[in-house]
């Protein structure tokens, strides 16, 4: 029986055992209620104890979170801010105050009553930020100029969002600002440096073009010198003095010319001599005309080299329809004298290609350089010196022409293959490293490529020029652009 019920029965003097059965059942029910009340009380006390511990723990967690937030708020390097729609700061961290040039947050909050006019160099910029927040809710990583307390102007990057109240109106704006002034200054300095470098590069490019002109003109002038020397030799060994002597004899015998020509031994020989002299002079004239024609063509090519270099400098392209074999033969002819002098055998491998629309003089310039380099690569070789020049359309793309110049010369080392087209790089003791470099640039200007392959030292080399072929309508447009 419950102790409280037992005490109550003792006070009243009632003995439960002496009572009726129904009274004892009532006592049993009351006793059960007492025990249930004790159990309910213990559960309530236990629940209150648990809730109390949880409340204490949650308060500790909130306090810890507040301390962490406050530590972050006070110590983060970015400026954190909140400001109202009236343009006044509600809350700022020390970094935000320092960013604006103030000693502490309260000083900044007190000094600023119109953020747009007092903080931003361009108030319209701040108005644009508010407008973007109204349209999209926030702005991210926007760059602006702000004015610090001492009047200095710095660049900042900010991310800001609008916070709305229960009435649907903007309650305040909050976000972060970061000082990016050093980066912006560095960017400006870098841009100035790039402009200076561009100017220097342009000057270097002009010098490179001039060097390319001299290099290619030099190659052509070798042939000009050969033709001029042959013309001079013909002039020195001309048979014209013999004609003068024959005319002198005829003048001496003007009065008895028939008898002189038929009876005098010298007169009879003179007729045969004049016939042979005529043949010699005609042959001499043909050879001189051939060399003069070569001179004219080479001088024209010098003019075209200069013109093509000027065209290249303007990045314009001059296209014309021309047989590929004609370009190759012109390049061989320009190098003909030195090829013969170095005992180089030239092998031509051309299919019957139709005339193609190409930049003739750019292609000719490249081939002249490649043939000249191949000749020098073979000049020290004791074995057979063979120069093979081939031309064909790509099997998988008939709109691209591939020209290959292969020699049996000294070859190219693997390391040198990677920089063979670099400006100033050369493996020749008397070379300057401009020919291949300008040739590669010329190939690029035509939308093509110039590549080199070699199995190694003493195994020769192959240079492949691949360029696009323009259709006639494209060539017309390119000509108009030029």
Domain endpoint, select from 27, 57, 72:
72
Alpha-carbon dihedral 421, 372, 391, 301, rounded to 10 degrees: 100
Bigger pLDDT: 167 vs 223: 167
Q: What is the structure's pLDDT at 202?
A: 52
- Residue 423's pLDDT band (boundaries 50, 70, 90)? confident
Q: What is the structure's pLDDT at 228?
A: 77
Pair (476, 330) in one structural domain? yes
Q: What is the structure's pLDDT at 176?
A: 94
Q: What is the structure's pLDDT at 214?
A: 66
Question: How many structural domains is the chain composed of?
Answer: 4
Lowest mean pLDDT among 72-81, 402-411, 456-465, 467-476: 467-476
Q: What is the structure's pLDDT at 431?
A: 62
On the question of pLDDT at 149 being above 70, the answer is: yes
Pair (447, 332) in one structural domain? yes
On the question of pLDDT at 241 being above 80, the answer is: no
Q: What is the structure's pLDDT at 401?
A: 94
Bigger pLDDT: 257 vs 467: 467
Could you tell me if residue 186 is inside a domain? no
Q: What is the structure's pLDDT at 348?
A: 94
Pair (340, 304) in one structural domain? no
For residue 79, give the H/E element and its range: strand 79-83
Bigger pLDDT: 382 vs 223: 382
Core vs surface per residue 456-480: b (16+ CB within 10 A) or e: eeeebbbbbbbbebbeeeebeebee
On the question of pLDDT at 35 being above 80, the answer is: no
Could you tell me if residue 393 is inside a domain? yes
Could you tell me if residue 35 is inside a domain? yes
Pair (371, 471) in one structural domain? yes
- CATH at residue 137: 3.30.450.20
Over residues 52-77, mean pLDDT: 73
3-class SS at 409?
A: coil
Could you tell me if residue 261 is inside a domain? yes
Pair (44, 87) in one structural domain? no
Nearest CA-CA partner of 434 in 223, 222, 220, 213: 213
Could you tell me if residue 474 is inside a domain? yes
3-class SS at 386?
A: strand
Q: What is the structure's pLDDT at 178?
A: 92
On the question of pLDDT at 475 being above 90, the answer is: no
Q: Give the whole-angstrom CA distance, residue 306 versus residue 302.
A: 6
Q: What is the structure's pLDDT at 100?
A: 95
Q: What is the structure's pLDDT at 123?
A: 95
On the question of pLDDT at 4 being above 90, the answer is: no
Q: Give the whole-angstrom CA distance, residue 351 versus residue 224.
A: 30
Over residues 414-434, mean pLDDT: 76
Q: What is the structure's pLDDT at 238?
A: 74
Highest mean pLDDT among 14-18, 59-63, 168-172: 168-172
Q: What is the structure's pLDDT at 417?
A: 87
Domain endpoint, select from 24, 55, 72:
72
Over residues 327-337, mean pLDDT: 81
Nearest CA-CA partner of 370 in 325, 421, 314: 421
- Residue 407's pLDDT band (boundaries 50, 70, 90)? very high
On the question of pLDDT at 480 being above 50, the answer is: no
Over residues 396-424, mean pLDDT: 89
Domain endpoint, select from 17, 38, 72:
72
Could you tell me if residue 468 is inside a domain? yes
- CA 422 from centre of chain: 16
Lowest mean pLDDT among 120-124, 145-149, 349-353, 432-436: 432-436
- Residue 83's pLDDT band (boundaries 50, 70, 90)? very high
Could you tell me if residue 197 is inside a domain? no
Pair (163, 259) in one structural domain? no
Residue 167, by phi and psi: left (phi above 0), alpha (psi -120 to 50) or beta? Answer: alpha
On the question of pLDDT at 310 being above 50, the answer is: yes
Q: What is the pLDDT of residues 151-176, one digit of tens each?
A: 999 999 999 999 999 898 999 999 99
Q: What is the structure's pLDDT at 69?
A: 63
Pair (61, 106) in one structural domain? no
Q: What is the structure's pLDDT at 2?
A: 62
- Residue 473's pLDDT band (boundaries 50, 70, 90)? very low
Helices in 379-458 by DSSP H: which ranges?
A: 414-417, 435-445
Q: What is the structure's pLDDT at 153?
A: 95
Pair (367, 473) in one structural domain? yes
Domain that holds residue 118: 77-179
Q: What is the structure's pLDDT at 88?
A: 94
Predicted TM-score of the model (pTM): 0.41
DSSP β-ladder status, 345-349 and 397-407: unpaired
Pair (368, 431) in one structural domain? yes
Q: What is the structure's pLDDT at 196?
A: 78
Pair (423, 476) in one structural domain? yes
Nearest CA-CA partner of 162 in 215, 225, 85: 85
- CA 346 from centre of chain: 39
- CATH at residue 477: 3.30.565.10
Q: What is the structure's pLDDT at 482?
A: 44
Pair (376, 467) in one structural domain? yes
How many C-alpha atoms does 458 have within 13 Å on its Cβ side? 3
Could you tell me if residue 141 is inside a domain? yes
On the question of pLDDT at 322 being above 60, the answer is: yes
- CA 438 from centre of chain: 18
Q: What is the structure's pLDDT at 368?
A: 86
Pair (270, 367) in one structural domain? no
On the question of pLDDT at 22 being above 50, the answer is: yes
On the question of pLDDT at 74 being above 80, the answer is: no
């Amino acid at each position: 029986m419950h102790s409280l019920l037992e005490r109550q029965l003792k006070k009243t003097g009632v003995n439960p055992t002496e009572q009726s059965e129904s009274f004892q059942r009532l006592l049993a029910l009351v006793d059960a209620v007492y025990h249930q009340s004790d159990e309910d009380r213990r559960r309530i006390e236990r629940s209150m104890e648990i809730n109390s511990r949880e409340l204490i723990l949650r308060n500790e967690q909130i306090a810890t979170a507040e301390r962490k937030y406050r530590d972050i708020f006070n110590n983060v390097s970015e400026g954190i801010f909140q400001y109202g729609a009236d343009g006044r700061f509600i809350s700022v961290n020390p970094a935000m105050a320092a960013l604006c040039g103030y000693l502490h947050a309260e000083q900044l909050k007190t000094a600023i009553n119109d953020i747009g006019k007092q903080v931003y160099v361009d108030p319209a910029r701040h108005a644009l930020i508010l407008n973007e927040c109204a349209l999209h809710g926030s702005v991210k990583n926007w760059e602006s100029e702000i004015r610090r307390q001492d009047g200095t102007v710095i660049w900042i990057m900010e991310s800001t969002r609008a916070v709305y109240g229960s009435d649907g109106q903007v309650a305040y704006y909050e976000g972060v600002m970061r000082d990016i002034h050093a980066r912006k200054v560095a960017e400006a300095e870098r841009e100035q440096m790039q402009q200076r470098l561009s100017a220097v590069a342009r000057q270097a490019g002009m010098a490179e073009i001039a060097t390319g002109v001299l290099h290619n003109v030099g190659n052509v002038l070798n042939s000009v010198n050969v033709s001029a020397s042959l013309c001079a030799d013909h002039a020195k060994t001309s048979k014209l003095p013999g004609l003068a002597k024959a005319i002198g004899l005829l003048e001496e015998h003007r009065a008895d010319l028939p008898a002189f020509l038929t009876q005098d031994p010298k007169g009879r020989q003179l007729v045969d001599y004049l016939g042979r002299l005529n043949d010699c002079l005609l042959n001499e004239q043909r050879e001189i005309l051939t060399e003069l024609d070569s001179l004219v063509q080479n001088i024209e090519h010098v003019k075209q080299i200069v013109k093509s270099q000027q065209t290249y400098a303007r990045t314009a392209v001059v296209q014309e329809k021309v047989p590929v074999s004609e370009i190759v033969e012109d390049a061989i002819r320009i190098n003909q004298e030195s090829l013969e002098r170095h005992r180089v055998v030239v092998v031509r491998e051309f299919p019957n290609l139709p005339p193609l629309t190409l930049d003739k003089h750019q292609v000719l310039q490249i081939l002249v350089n490649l043939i000249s380099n191949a000749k020098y690569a073979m000049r020290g070789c004791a074995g057979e010196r063979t120069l093979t020049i081939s031309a064909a359309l790509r099997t998988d793309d008939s709109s691209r022409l591939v020209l290959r110049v292969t020699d049996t010369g000294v070859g190219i080392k693997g390391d040198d293959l990677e920089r063979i087209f670099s400006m100033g790089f050369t493996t020749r003791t008397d070379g300057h490293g401009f020919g291949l470099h300008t040739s590669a640039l010329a190939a690029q200007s035509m939308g093509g490529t110039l590549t080199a392959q070699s199995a190694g030292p003493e195994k020769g080399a192959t240079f492949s020029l691949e360029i696009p072929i323009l259709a006639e309508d494209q060539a017309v447009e390119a000509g108009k652009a030029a």
